[in-house]
Copies of this chain bind each other. A is one copy, B any other.
């Protein structure tokens, strides 16, 4: 049988990596030859997760079309966030929890998007719908994805379904959610050995908004001041990326995971659109967004609407 590659978005986070692994496992169990792969480096948080549950990291790929005709996307659907040669392969399925944009097919596909906090929450349902038991390791990976995406259930993206799924997965994974979750988030928030280039690309996504290209990176921190002290160097690097990718604006959101707010650093010709979206004035290219921790729910929609009206 022809192999299918399963992968999440570029600049992979824990949900993207673990969902690729957990969905490929499910596919294998129901007789489909599927291999999880990744489109970028494993971050510190995901590394912690894989080591904890003793699961190997997926193989890194640059292109998909060289080795397969068919792929499955998890945790994303927008073309510019996917593998570079996405136009050369056939997308068989999408399992996602983001907005739907810049995606189209000429034939019917299996597309399962739900407005929950995490792709893993949907995967857990798919295991059940396909009558496949969830082994301890896969439960641990999926639980980790939910903890990561919901910042231990504190993000406004987190739904009752995510919490319920996490509870059941924690039992199968045999971990204490609070204790394990905090250790995992801390592993991800350890920025001490990151270069500036790594900081702004670790969890970064490009969006098409109206006629504009906007990049939004997010860094979770225990102490945001550590990151903000590097503001001058960060801005220099953002300006380079803006020129290279022809971006209208680049936003780096430094999220305080203990106090649930984000300080944004904004660069680019359309910075004023960010001021308009949040009805504030940037000072020294920054602003504190109280209560904002979710790019998907609290940044992308409001900015998209603002850019469409520009």
Q: Which of A110, A113, A129 has most chain B Cβ within 10 Å?
A: A113
Q: Give bound CA distance, A110 to B96, whole Å.
A: 10
Whether A108 contacts B115 by the Cβ 8 Å rule is: yes
Q: Is A97 among interface residues, defined by CB-CB distance under 8 A?
A: yes
Whether B304 contacts A106 by the Cβ 8 Å rule is: yes
Contact check: which of B105, B108, B113 meets A111 at CB < 8 Å?
Answer: B113
Cβ proximity bits A95-121 to B, threshold 8 Å, 1 near / 0 not: 001111111111111111111000000
Q: Is A300 among interface residues, defined by CB-CB distance under 8 A?
A: yes
Q: Which of A112, A115, A305 has most chain B Cβ within 10 Å?
A: A115
CB distance from A207 to the nearest CB of B (A): 10
Enumerate chain B residues within 8 angstroms of A106, measured Cβ to Cβ.
Answer: 99, 101, 300-301, 304-305
Enumerate chain B residues within 8 angstroms of A245, measured Cβ to Cβ.
Answer: none
Enumerate chain B residues within 8 angstroms of A304, measured Cβ to Cβ.
Answer: 106
Whether A301 contacts B111 by the Cβ 8 Å rule is: no
Q: Nearest B residue to A101 by beta-carbon distance?
A: B104
Known contacts being A101-B104, A104-B101, is A113 close to B115, with CB within 8 Å? no
Whether A104 contacts B100 by the Cβ 8 Å rule is: yes
Whether A99 contacts B110 by the Cβ 8 Å rule is: no
CB distance from A161 to the nearest CB of B (A): 11
Q: Which of A102, A106, A115 has most chain B Cβ within 10 Å?
A: A106
Whether A108 contacts B305 by the Cβ 8 Å rule is: no
Enumerate chain B residues within 8 angstroms of A101, measured Cβ to Cβ.
Answer: 104-106
Copies held by the complex: 2
Of residues 72 through 127 on chain A, the ones whose CB sits less than 8 Å from some CB of chain B are 97-115
Q: Nearest B residue to A296 by beta-carbon distance?
A: B108
Cβ proximity bits A153-182 to B, threshold 8 Å, 1 near / 0 not: 000000000000000000000000000000
Whether A105 contacts B110 by the Cβ 8 Å rule is: no
Q: Nearest B residue to A108 by beta-carbon distance?
A: B115
Q: Is A297 among interface residues, defined by CB-CB distance under 8 A?
A: yes
Cβ proximity bits A283-310 to B, threshold 8 Å, 1 near / 0 not: 0000000000000110011001100000
Enumerate chain B residues within 8 angstroms of A110, measured Cβ to Cβ.
Answer: 113-115
Cβ proximity bits A240-257 to B, threshold 8 Å, 1 near / 0 not: 000000000000000000
Q: Which of A99, A104, A305 has most chain B Cβ within 10 Å?
A: A104
Q: Give bound CA distance, A109 to B96, whole Å.
A: 10
Q: Nearest B residue to A116 by beta-carbon distance?
A: B108
Q: A100-B109, A101-B106, A107-B301 are known contacts; what are 17 more A-B pairs with Cβ within 8 Å?
A: A97-B108, A99-B106, A100-B100, A100-B103, A100-B104, A100-B105, A100-B111, A106-B301, A107-B300, A108-B114, A109-B113, A110-B113, A110-B114, A111-B111, A111-B113, A111-B114, A129-B129
Identify 12 residue pairs between A and B in the complex whose beta-carbon atoms are under 8 Å apart, listed by A's number: A99-B105, A99-B107, A99-B108, A99-B109, A100-B103, A101-B105, A106-B301, A107-B301, A108-B114, A108-B296, A110-B114, A111-B112
